[in-house]
Structure 1
Amino acid sequence: MSPIVTVQEAVTAFADWIEPTDAELDAIEQELPAILADVDLLDAQIITLDRAPNELDARRIRRAHRRVLAERRTLANRTAAGGAA
């Protein structure tokens, strides 16, 4: 039986000894505020999964959603400004 080379290449492409590059780490660092805002929104939504949201929950979700939109806008503006330069 002969090994399938494409499968072997796919497995070794994701080997644990491959580290992210500095550019990838910088991109993650720039996106981190948006990622954290998404996590906050998910936390606010998860709280209301087992019960009907009360007024405080609704405010928390709206605030988290506004923060997500603001962080995404900031990230998009930063990316657009970086691409234009």
Structure 2
Amino acid sequence: MIQVYYFAGLRDAAGKAEETIDRAEWKVQELLDWVEEAYPAFRNKTVFVAVNEEYASREDVITSGDIVALIPPVSGG
């Protein structure tokens, strides 16, 4: 099971703050592809991914028990 958290505007796009996905292993890119398919509002959005509190690349592998955060770009001034 992979725990996924959606932050800020991505929470609105998903319609939820978190969910558990029943997968043993997934590449970050596969997760992002799934999210775009499940939640069309994610399409064309920039999304940063953190796995177990560390930013991940699209090729990194997520395994069961990992915690994933999907984070939009942060701006400030």
TM range (shorter): under 0.3
Richer in helix (by share) = 1
- Per chain length, whose mean CA-contact separation is higher, i.e. which structure has more relative contact order (CA < 8 Å, sep 6+)? 2
**Which one has a bigger Cα radius of gyration?**
1
Q: What TM-score comes out, normalization by structure 2 length?
A: 0.22
Q: What TM-score comes out, normalization by structure 1 length?
A: 0.21
